[in-house]
Chains A and B, each alone.
Chain A
Amino acid sequence: MSTIEKLREVILKMKKKNITAANLTPEARFLQDLSFDSQDQTEMLVLAEEAFDISVDFQEVKNMATIAAAVEYIDKKAGK
């Protein structure tokens, strides 16, 4: 399973209103398109730590804007 597919699973697990797999394109912006706030972003990253077995530096990802940026960060952390 690719990183983006796995990340989609992580985000869908959050059961956030109005988010479907179709919304979760690489270009989707957390803030504007997915209506994420700081609690949502934190939850996604906590679940990602578990799913990808990585340790997230929460300062580093403070301004992470899109799904593509998240995928890139996860791949970097996972040493891909």
Chain B
Amino acid sequence: MSDPVFRLVPIDRANAALVGDVFRTAYGDAFPVAYVYQADALLAEITQGRLAAALALTEENRAAGYVSMFKNAPNHHLWEAGNLVVVPDYKQTDVSSLLFAAYFNGVLSAGTTSDGLMGEAVCCHYFTQVGNIKAGASDVALELDQLDGPSFNGNRTGSARVSCVLGFLENSAPTSPIYLPTNYAPILAKLLQPLQPRIVLHDAAPLPTTGATQREERYYHSVQTWKFFVHSIGADWPDFAAEIVAEAKRRGVVSLQIILNMACPQLDAAVQTLKSNGFFFGGLAPRWFGSDGLLMQQVLGQQTEYEHIKLYSATAKEILAWIQAERSAMSTGTGT
């Protein structure tokens, strides 16, 4: 029997309803991104420039998979790769490679400009991580225990949670200078090394005595993950840090993440505040605000099952080693 042949087609009014069918085969009606089940909402996302997506169709026009990139970061010139789904009947075909290639061969990005492409690869298998690295992306961060294990369709490890490694491919030169916090300067310098050159400033400032912290948030109730994107630090920073940890515990959040704008002169002091509230290093979120972001995180009410985290690149393994060392130092009170 010959292998089936697939073709990638952009989403349009005629095929948009098939996207919901694809997700139902893999996730039922439980996939946390609602628009995939709603043709009109999906088309609106595309029309408004927040989503680029394609379907893989068989010769008989059956949907075999879906691939997309979308905009989630404060920087509207940054695409995020994600929501690649293969219909289970086609798992043993080459369709996943065809879908994955769409991130890098221009099929999805035709007609768009961007600062870069960010991709979250789950750490319960290697497929996406290998694809990212082989396509020229660099691993830059590790989001520990970000997804709920049992409800995550591709989780074969049986772990309670699934971590994600963040890969990044840069498409333009950054213009905004950044600060490096003292604690993390060595590892951040390594993570920045494969990217385009940055201007790094060293005259760090103390926490401000006026103004309010400017931030936005994303709360993913179904996976107990809460993310904050901090544009600027205000005088309320210490209270803010303590309050979100308390509120996260109240909500039953497992993965609490903060991405700090590295263009803030108070970055070093802000990191110290976070560390004293239990946060540890996550990595770099390049171009997240236009300028780069620093990911800080904590895992609440859950022991990280490190043995289930599958990492491909040496860089990703180095980030994990850094995190483990920092968490260990924090638990024994030997951290700085």
Contacts and interface: CB of A to CB of B under 8 A. Distances in A.
> Contact size class for B?
10 to 19
B125 A42 contact: yes
Nearest to B125: A39
A38 B130 contact: no
A42 B126 contact: yes
B228 interface: no
B96 A38 contact: yes
B312 interface: yes
A38 B97 contact: yes
A1 B327 CA distance: 40
B134 A58 contact: yes
Contacts of B97: 38, 62
29 contacts: A35-B92, A36-B92, A37-B91, A38-B91, A38-B94, A38-B96, A38-B97, A39-B125, A39-B127, A39-B154, A39-B156, A42-B125, A42-B126, A42-B127, A42-B130, A43-B125, A43-B126, A43-B127, A43-B310, A45-B130, A46-B126, A46-B130, A46-B312, A58-B130, A58-B131, A58-B134, A59-B134, A62-B94, A62-B97
Interface of B: 91-92, 94, 96-97, 125-127, 130-131, 134, 154, 156, 310, 312
B313 to A, nearest CB: 10
Interface residues of A, number: 13
A36 B91 CA distance: 9
A59 B101 CA distance: 11
A36 B94 CA distance: 12
B295 to A, nearest CB: 25
B117 to A, nearest CB: 19
Contacts of B92: 31, 35-37
A26 B312 CA distance: 27
Given A42-B125, A45-B130, 8 more contacts: A35-B92, A37-B92, A38-B91, A38-B94, A39-B125, A39-B154, A46-B130, A58-B131
A31, A35, A45, A58 — most chain B CB neighbours (10 Å): A58
A31 B97 CA distance: 15
Interface in A14-39: 31, 35-39
Contacts of A35: 92
Contacts of A38: 91, 94, 96-97, 127
A42 B125 CA distance: 8
B318 to A, nearest CB: 16
Contacts of A58: 130-131, 134
Nearest to B1: A32
A32 B134 CA distance: 27
Contacts of B134: 58-59
B21 to A, nearest CB: 20
